[in-house]
Structure 1
Amino acid sequence: MTDTAAIRRKKQVARLGRADRSPLGLWFWEIDRVLLMLITVLISIGLVAVAAASPSAAHRYSGAGVTFAPLHYFWRQLFWVIISVPVMLGVSMLPKQTARRFALGGAAFFTIMLAAVPLIGVEVNGAHRWIGVGFAQFQPSEFLKPLFVVSLAWLLSLRQQDKTLPVVPLTGALVGVIAILLMKQPDFGQTIVFGTMWMALLLLSGVSGRMIGGLIGAGFGGIVCAYLFYPVATTRINNFIYGEGDTYQVDKAHATITGGGFFGTGPGGGVAKFQLPEAHTDYIYSVIGEEFGLIACLAIAFIFLAIVVRVFLKLLDEEDTFTMLAAAGLTTQIGVQATINMAVNLQLAPSKGMTLPLISYGGSSMIALAIGMGLLLAFTRRNPYLHRSPYVVKWNGQR
């Protein structure tokens, strides 16, 4: 490297110093780099896990004149990751007000798309959840989750300005509409996620304990009614509690996740995964257990827990109600979805057809989660000079 090139390199590095006030420089010092690292680790684990599950999925879906290469799903997932990571970073650079407006507009659009699913949606594995054709199919509910939770956070934050605003019944009605649309697909698992996000936001927004108790009771009553009158819920709960009907998926998932013992069979050494339906999506956690061991499954659970703890600890001194609710809601979304998926794989919950965030294969899921994580990173950005001594701020030439 010549002297001129070395000087140019030093200047480029210096531009990312704390004195840099460019948009990129501000983003670099304001972003929660620990949170970004945890998210990046999960995406990387997802690529490795999809590579492990891809031969099983390719074998299962080959046929009728179509033969998939063993790593077919890995290469497709790599493509989605290459698209999703810039999307996540781009959204994370948005100012908070712009991010809020983006979420409100997106929530309105994808609610309309969700309502259109029964009319123009396509059937996949017995469910109408997708819109589009072939490679261009997308699942509106996946995109709606992060955008809708930010919209709920904004509505509930209005209570701080005017306690008389009926935002609680309004948000309840919105969640009810979404729940009806989801259950028609049918998608009982996503219905639970939306309901849980709403409950968490209500609790954090400071509603009365009596209301929370009533809502918990109503939620329990809703599950009972779903069991009595909603055939999808009845079948899955009966399969889980009594072992009735077709338990093939959960039985194979249990055999796969325990097949590798504590340390696993090693990459590519799994055998039980070839008998596992949806090994690359809903049951990828079981594939990880077989090839990388239960210790890897435990490590993934701790990473999700670390994300939740990291965000909630960071929100302890957050003064803006909307920012606090939005970040908490997005964290609740990823935490609840991960918990449900892992519980299903461990036979601790009924099968729900839900992916493991940032790890399972899927284009809609990956891009939607990238948007959600980008919003989370945007709402957890902090000015590094905010709590500094005024003498230090002056010395650095910052305001």
Structure 2
Amino acid sequence: MIASLDSILSKTRGDRWIWLIVILLSMISLLAVYSSTGTLAFKRGVGAESILMKHLAMIIGGIGLMYISHKIDYRYYAGISKLLMIATIPLLLYTLVFGNHVNDASRWIPIPGTGLSFQTSDLAKLALITFLARTLSRKQENIKDVKQSFIPIMSSVCVVFILIALANLSTALMLFGVSVLLLIIGRISIKQIAVVCLAGAVLLAGVVFLGPRRKTYISRIHTYMHPEKATADKSFQSDHAKIAIASGGIFGKGPGNSTERNYLPDSFSDEIYAIIVEEYGLIGGLTLMGIYLFLLYRCIKIVTKAPKAFGALLACGLSFSLTIQAFANMAVAVGLGPVTGVPLPLVSMGGTSILFTSIAFGIILSVSRDNDEPKKVVVGEITEAP
């Protein structure tokens, strides 16, 4: 057993703490999903074990993708980012027009012959972050040039933002925030960042007040700002999430003893944090929060050690994207934000979310692996490793 474990660990590289974090989050996910899918299983006429096995298959597939992506030299992702951006824009447009409509939102496109659906915004997040990291790192010498640097960067951020925001505003806002952080770290001037933020604000206003989901967005904002005026059906999800958290106490009701899982419509995805707190209490909620904070800390260490700008920007963008998404999900569950459709990374049940999150972890580990490997130094005709 120990020999086989050593054999597996010998084939993995990068920050070992991040590998441990992935394993912990996967275990938490299995427990939480199994506990919260009883009602879903009843509606589908299947056993909860059947849903758990599918979720386990996704986690195993995600870890496999993470392993593959961490073995690839992160520099190759610079070239891949161009292909991803070329594919992302048409896919987002196709999703808006021909995608599956769920809750008045078109976010998924079906994968023929599999019975599965693909959320294109997950690909768009990965594509935009890698593209920005590549562009910012390669244009440092003329980073303030409007034509060569600023216009390509601004156009890519704004186009992806508007295409995602029309169906998924919360994801678009988080991705826009991560993009602005990358622009600041990438030494874009304050004036140019202000222009990007102004353009984003104009697009945001257009989506909220003129977009196809304007009624949903305005209703959610109104419910959050004035909960006392909201009808029972409008505040149902947020109310039961608060009940779940309040009834959990300090130590929780225990694994599998949640009652609010029978009422929350998305207890296994968007509101899974509320179920975790209900079953494992304040201690469980704070522990999960601490895991994500520790993840951010380890990623920042990777960023500070990265010798190249592209690796630093890539790891920085992906780590901020994961942690901001995690805390946005937890904030919604405890009532610190309006209801959104943002999953908890590597914990919520979901196909493409788990797979693309795993790829993001793999890319971060690829940067970490490069940091840890000894650099070769050429001395005359002799190549040595210091």
Could you state the TM-score of these two structures normalised by the residue count of structure 1?
0.84
CA deviation after TM superposition for structure 1 residue 221, in Å = 5.9
Other-structure match for 1:176:
158
SS for the counterpart of 2:107 is: strand
Query: Which of residues 169, 172, 178 is equivalent to 1:191?
Result: 172
CA distance in 2, matches of 1:145, 1:69: 34
Other-structure match for 2:139:
159
Query: Which of residues 90, 105, 118 is equivalent to 1:138?
Result: 118
CA offsets per residue over residues 174-193 of structure 1, 9 Å max, x none?
Answer: 12111222233x21111112
Query: Which of residues 245, 248, 258 is equivalent to 1:270?
Result: 258
Q: Does 1:378 align with 2:366?
A: yes
CA distance in 2, matches of 1:101, 1:376: 17
CA deviation after TM superposition for structure 1 residue 114, in Å = 1.4
CA deviation after TM superposition for structure 1 residue 161, in Å = 3.7
Asked whether the equivalents of residues 147 and 372 of structure 1 are also in contact (C-alpha less than 8 Å), the reply is no
CA distance in 2, matches of 1:296, 1:388: 45
CA distance in 1, matches of 2:206, 2:89: 25
CA distance in 2, matches of 1:213, 1:117: 30
Unpaired segments of 5 or more residues in structure 1? 1-8, 17-23
Cα gap change, 1:277 to 1:204, in 2 (>3 Å): same
CA distance in 1, matches of 2:15, 2:102: 38
Deviates more, 1:158-167 or 1:218-227: 218-227
Cα gap change, 1:384 to 1:182, in 2 (>3 Å): closer
Other-structure match for 1:41:
24
SS for the counterpart of 2:160 is: helix
- Read off the aligned partner of 1:360 and give its amino acid letter: S
Cα gap change, 1:94 to 1:129, in 2 (>3 Å): same
CA deviation after TM superposition for structure 1 residue 201, in Å = 0.5
Other-structure match for 2:237:
249
> Aligned runs of 1:209-224 on 2, under 5 Å?
209-213=190-194, 215-216=196-197, 219=200, 223=204
Asked whether the equivalents of residues 118 and 128 of structure 1 are also in contact (C-alpha less than 8 Å), the reply is yes
SS for the counterpart of 2:20 is: helix
Other-structure match for 1:3:
none
> Aligned runs of 1:114-153 on 2, under 5 Å?
114-132=92-110, 135-153=115-133
CA distance in 2, matches of 1:210, 1:114: 30
- Read off the aligned partner of 1:236 and give its amino acid letter: R
SS for the counterpart of 1:166 is: helix
Other-structure match for 1:290:
278
Cα gap change, 1:388 to 1:171, in 2 (>3 Å): closer
CA offsets per residue over residues 301-339 of structure 1, 9 Å max, x none?
Answer: 111111111111232243311111111000111011111
Asked whether the equivalents of residues 91 and 99 of structure 1 are also in contact (C-alpha less than 8 Å), the reply is no
- Read off the aligned partner of 1:140 and give its amino acid letter: T
- Read off the aligned partner of 2:188 and give its amino acid letter: V
> Aligned runs of 1:330-345 on 2, under 5 Å?
330-345=318-333
CA distance in 2, matches of 1:388, 1:266: 53
Query: Which of residues 60, 75, 81 is equivalent to 2:53?
Result: 75
- Number of residue pairs matched by the alignment: 369
Q: Does 1:235 align with 2:247?
A: no
Cα gap change, 1:173 to 1:388, in 2 (>3 Å): closer
Asked whether the equivalents of residues 57 and 278 of structure 1 are also in contact (C-alpha less than 8 Å), the reply is no
SS for the counterpart of 1:129 is: strand
SS for the counterpart of 1:315 is: helix
CA distance in 2, matches of 1:110, 1:227: 23
Deviates more, 1:197-206 or 1:130-139: 130-139
CA offsets per residue over residues 55-98 of structure 1, 9 Å max, x none?
Answer: 13324xx1xxx412133332211111121111110010001222
Cα gap change, 1:274 to 1:172, in 2 (>3 Å): same
CA deviation after TM superposition for structure 1 residue 233, in Å = 2.5
Could you state the TM-score of these two structures normalised by the residue count of structure 2?
0.87
CA distance in 2, matches of 1:160, 1:215: 18
Asked whether the equivalents of residues 57 and 279 of structure 1 are also in contact (C-alpha less than 8 Å), the reply is no
Cα gap change, 1:183 to 1:99, in 2 (>3 Å): closer
CA deviation after TM superposition for structure 1 residue 219, in Å = 4.9
Other-structure match for 2:39:
56
Identity %: 25
Unpaired segments of 5 or more residues in structure 2? none
SS for the counterpart of 1:319 is: coil
CA offsets per residue over residues 347-367 of structure 1, 9 Å max, x none?
Answer: 100111110000000111111
CA distance in 1, matches of 2:64, 2:208: 42
Deviates more, 1:162-171 or 1:272-281: 162-171
SS for the counterpart of 2:139 is: helix
> What is the Cα-based RMSD across aligned positions, in Å?
2.8
